[in-house]
């Protein structure tokens, strides 16, 4: 069995259908664009204006301490950070409370909307699901705060534990590969493939894995994707074939323009709707929009395009809601 070479600082393990011994990759998929394309995009213009700041119509939420039994409540904090409450568990996804999604505090994408839950108002956090290591998803400062305040278990794909442990050495972290699962209390967290990539700097591209999660709970299954390209719908059809019915799907809808640069790694709202329908989920919640300006589209474009496309396809708007910071979604009673 071939093993990883020593030049991957994050992960050492056997070669697989998505790991070549040094880097992870998307099987039969597309690699991220190179540096010359990045420069072409950055200097190519076409960026829509954003407001200086945005006040959410929902204001900050103050979550209950626990949501018991089959009830399911999901609160939008911002970007890909969501609080999932069900079966007595409090789960955070890709937690970012910092002012910038950046390796430094003085530059990089800044927060345009305050967090939908103040950090001090969080209930006791049991689990953190961390999808991949891009700075708008893996925020080491926030993770260190969570370790001190809540000591949650972090569940993340292969290699990301090394990044976390360098900054928060006492944090509890468990990793998994696509197709594996970790049980924690009444929930089982499944690692599922999605079409993305990873990097923290210039020399570590795709050396840590990315993943979607299926959260299996007594009240049903939740599909959560932190970031993905549409990839011919495979992230959705594969998940449905493996897991069957989903009570809810939490899907990215933003950071998609210009399409020539973004399409392989970030789906647009039309693709998010198609993925939702392919997944067979009862409901979907849209995230990854409106908090950090990462790409060319306007701040409200993901929401506006999503709502227009839902109407065009005849999908009831309450079935797929692009959540604002502080907005709380209460799932209908489980069947």
For residues 137-151, give the mean pLDDT: 98
Instruction: Write down the pLDDT at residue 5.
Output: 47
Q: Are strands 248-252 and 328-330 parallel, antiparallel or unpaired?
A: unpaired
Q: Is the pLDDT of residue 3 over 50?
A: no
CB 213 within 8 A of CB 131: yes
Q: Is the pLDDT of residue 4 over 50?
A: no
Predicted confidence band of residue 6 (pLDDT cuts 50, 70, 90): low
For residues 293-311, give the mean pLDDT: 96
Q: Is the pLDDT of residue 2 over 70?
A: no
Kindly report, residue by residue over 33-45, the tens digit of the pLDDT: 988 988 999 988 8
Instruction: Write down the pLDDT at residue 260.
Output: 94
- How does the average pLDDT of the chain come out, rounded? 95
Q: Which CATH class for the 63-330 domain?
A: alpha beta
String of DSSP letters for 6-66: TT-SS---B-BTTB-SS-B--TTS-PPP-HHHHHHHHTS--PPP--S-B--TT------S-
Domain ranges of the chain: 63-330
Kindly report, residue by residue over 43-97, the tens digit of the pLDDT: 888 899 999 989 999 989 999 999 999 999 999 999 999 999 999 999 999 999 9
Q: Closest Cα to residue 255, out of 305, 292, 304?
A: 292
Instruction: Write down the pLDDT at residue 333.
Output: 87
Instruction: Write down the pLDDT at residue 335.
Output: 61
Q: Is the pLDDT of residue 247 over 80?
A: yes
Q: Is the pLDDT of residue 152 over 50?
A: yes
For residues 13-33, give the mean pLDDT: 95
């Amino acid at each position: 069995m071939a093993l990883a070479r020593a030049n991957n600082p994050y992960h050492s393990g056997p070669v697989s259908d998505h790991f070549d011994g040094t880097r992870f990759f998307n099987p039969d998929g597309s690699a991220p664009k190179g540096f010359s394309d990045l420069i072409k995009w950055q200097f190519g213009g076409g960026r829509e204006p954003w407001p200086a700041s945005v006040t959410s119509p929902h204001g900050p939420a103050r979550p209950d301490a626990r949501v018991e039994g089959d009830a399911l409540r999901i609160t939008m904090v911002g970007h890909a950070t969501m609080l999932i409450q069900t079966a007595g568990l409090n789960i955070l996804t890709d937690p970012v409370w910092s002012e910038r999604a950046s390796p430094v505090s003085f530059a990089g994408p800044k927060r345009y909307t305050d967090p939908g839950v103040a950090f001090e108002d969080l209930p006791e956090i049991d689990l953190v699901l961390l999808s991949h290591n891009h700075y708008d998803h893996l925020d080491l400062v926030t993770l260190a705060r969570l370790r001190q305040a809540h000591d949650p278990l972090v569940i993340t794909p292969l290699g990301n534990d090394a990044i976390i442990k360098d900054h928060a050495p006492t944090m509890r972290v468990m990793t998994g590969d696509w197709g594996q699962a970790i049980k924690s209390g009444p929930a089982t967290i499944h690692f599922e493939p999605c079409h993305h990539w990873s990097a923290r700097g210039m020399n570590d591209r795709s050396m840590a894995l990315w993943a979607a999660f299926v959260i299996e709970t007594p009240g049903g299954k939740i599909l959560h994707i932190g970031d993905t390209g549409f990839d011919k719908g495979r992230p959705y059809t594969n998940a449905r074939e493996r897991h069957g019915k989903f009570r809810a799907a939490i899907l990215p809808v933003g950071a998609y323009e210009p399409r020539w640069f973004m399409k392989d790694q970030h789906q647009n709202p039309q693709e998010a709707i198609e993925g939702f329908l392919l997944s067979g989920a009862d409901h979907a919640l849209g995230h990854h929009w409106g908090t950090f300006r990462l790409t060319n589209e306007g701040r409200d474009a993901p929401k506006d395009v999503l709502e227009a496309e839902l109407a065009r396809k005849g999908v009831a708007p309450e079935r797929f809601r692009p959540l604002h910071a502080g907005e709380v979604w209460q799932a209908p009673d489980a069947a």
